[in-house]
């Protein structure tokens, strides 16, 4: 599996460098008709940056030129450099090291790692960071997501008996995706993988005007995945290294094999539902359909647990029950708003491109920090909902 994944990623990297003009179709009658029927009002141009709305550009610390609104809000939800936080006693949160963050729980018997990075390279960076706060061995790994399990072998440090907890179907999903990006038709996996490498800054410089702002970088390597050897069911309770835990596997977000971890005695929740941007109901690289209803139900479940500490495996941690409830409500409302208004537009006869400009966040939803449109923009979500519902 490892060699296949590496070969697939490396072989498709060349595709990502192809000129965007390859395969472009010349304008024809259908194009002209679409141009005639597009309904883009002056108000759209005032709010849509891609249609001429004013955008204030600023320079990031690494020289990147970016939208000021992105830089003004990103520190609240993501780390732009390697950062280790301790949102609760004995719980470390490592972010800014690679594409996705991870959490570590300290126990007298050893460490419990929740997620391990999207690549072996990310795992190595985070293990190096972890060793600045503790030298205890990692005894247990919990996979919250099928994308963030490729650094596991790094954290195992040669321990063949390490316990790996995760969704019952995670191993099968990882096996299916061994060739690269998830694809409804496996034959187009190479194409989506090339787009994935572009999306995650693989070919962008670290400094200068064209650099990335947030280090959501994907390094091409063979991965260090270790299969789940302790699958958990929805609602299952278990004591792990002396820590009472409850696992929830019913709901997913961008894939279907998520595991939410609840520590009932400390009211700490580890979740894959809250990200640093709005629920990504469509990925710009292309992907299988992400059902908004499932993500919405998962967020409701997170909210109803009423955690005192929230450790999102896609954003910075939150402390304080009232703040967490307010954040989850705003985030949940954002996802519900996109779905509801998309369906309303479809019922009103709007097509995919019209929905793209019709469905925009009202001001009050932009006040929720995690609704910052940094990792994905909602203008791409409504068309995906239309295509799924209408064809």
Could you identify the residue written with the tokens 């450099």?
Answer: 81
Res 196: pLDDT: 86
Beta strands in the chain (DSSP E): 57-59, 65-67, 83-88, 91-95, 102-107, 110-114, 138-142, 163-166, 230-231, 237-240, 243-248, 260-263, 268-271, 309-312, 318-319
Residue 270 lies in a domain: yes
Q: What pLDDT score was predicted for residue 347?
A: 97
Reported pTM = 0.85
Confirm whether 23 is domain-assigned.
Answer: no
Domain presence at residue 36:
no
The pLDDT score that the predictor gives to residue 179 is 62
d(CA 267, CA 41): 49
pLDDT in tens, 365-387: 999 999 999 888 899 999 999 99
Q: What is the pLDDT of residues 312-359, one digit of tens each?
A: 999 999 999 999 999 999 999 999 999 999 999 999 999 999 999 999
Give the pLDDT score at 266: 98
Taking the C-alpha atoms of residue 128 and residue 134, their distance in angstroms, rounded to an integer, is: 10
How many Å apart are CA 92 and CA 253, to the nearest integer?
24
Task: Return the residue matching tokens 């010349």.
Answer: 26
pLDDT confidence of residue 47:
62
37 inside domain = no
Name the one residue in this structure whose structure tokens are 């908004």: 292
In a domain, 31, yes or no: no
Domain with 286, as residue range(s), is: 2-12+43-390
Is residue 27, in this structure, part of any structural domain at all? no
Termini Cα distance of the chain: 35
Distance (Å, whole) CA 385 – CA 28: 27
Q: CA gyration radius for the chain?
A: 21
- Is 24 a member of any domain? no
Residue 321: exposed, middle, or buried by beta-carbon count in 10 A (0-12, 13-18, 19+)?
A: middle
Q: Residues of the chain whose pLDDT is less than 70?
A: 1-48, 179
The length of the chain in residues reads 391
In a domain, 21, yes or no: no
Domain count, the chain: 1
Per the CB < 8 A criterion, the answer to whether 260 and 144 are in contact is yes
Predicted confidence at residue 184, as pLDDT, reads 86
Residue 152 belongs to a domain with what CATH number? 3.60.15.30
Tokens of 37: 């029927």
């Amino acid at each position: 599996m490892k060699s296949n994944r590496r070969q697939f990623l490396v072989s498709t990297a060349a595709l990502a460098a192809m000129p965007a003009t390859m395969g472009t179709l010349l304008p024809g009658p259908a194009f002209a008709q679409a141009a005639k029927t597009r309904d883009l009002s002056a108000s759209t141009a005032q709010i849509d940056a891609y249609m001429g709305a004013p955008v204030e550009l600023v320079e990031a610390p690494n020289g990147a030129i970016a939208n000021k609104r992105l830089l003004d809000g990103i520190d609240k939800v993501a780390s732009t450099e390697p950062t280790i936080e301790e949102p609760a006693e004995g719980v470390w949160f490592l972010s800014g090291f690679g594409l996705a963050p991870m959490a570590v729980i300290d126990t007298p018997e050893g460490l419990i790692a929740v997620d391990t990075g999207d690549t072996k390279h990310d795992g190595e960076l985070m293990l190096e960071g972890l060793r600045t706060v503790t030298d205890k061995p990692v005894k247990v790994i919990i996979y919250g997501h099928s994308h963030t399990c490729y650094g596991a072998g790094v954290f195992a440090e040669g321990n063949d008996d390490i316990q790996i907890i995760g969704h019952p179907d995670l191993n099968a999903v990882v096996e299916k995706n061994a060739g690269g990006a998830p694809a409804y038709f496996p034959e187009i996996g190479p194409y989506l993988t090339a787009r994935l490498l572009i999306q995650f800054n693989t070919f962008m410089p670290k400094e200068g005007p064209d650099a990335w702002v947030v280090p959501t970088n994907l390094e091409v390597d063979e991965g260090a995945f270790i299969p789940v050897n302790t699958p958990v069911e929805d609602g299952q309770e278990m004591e792990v290294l002396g820590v009472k835990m409850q696992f929830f596997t019913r709901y997913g977000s961008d894939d279907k094999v998520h595991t939410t971890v609840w520590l009932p005695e400390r009211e700490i929740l580890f979740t894959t539902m809250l990200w640093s941007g709005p629920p990504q109901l469509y990925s710009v690289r292309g992907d299988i359909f992400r059902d908004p209803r499932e993500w919405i139900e998962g967020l409701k479940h997170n909210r109803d647990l009423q955690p005192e500490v929230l450790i999102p495996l896609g954003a910075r941690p939150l402390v304080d029950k009232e703040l967490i409830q307010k954040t989850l409500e705003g985030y949940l409302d954002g996802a519900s708003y996109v779905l509801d208004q998309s369906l309303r537009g479809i019922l009103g006869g709007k097509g995919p491109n019209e929905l793209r400009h019709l469905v925009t966040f009202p001001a009050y939803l932009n006040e929720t920090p995690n609704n910052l449109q940094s990792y994905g923009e909602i203008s791409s979500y409504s068309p995906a909902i239309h295509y799924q519902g209408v064809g």
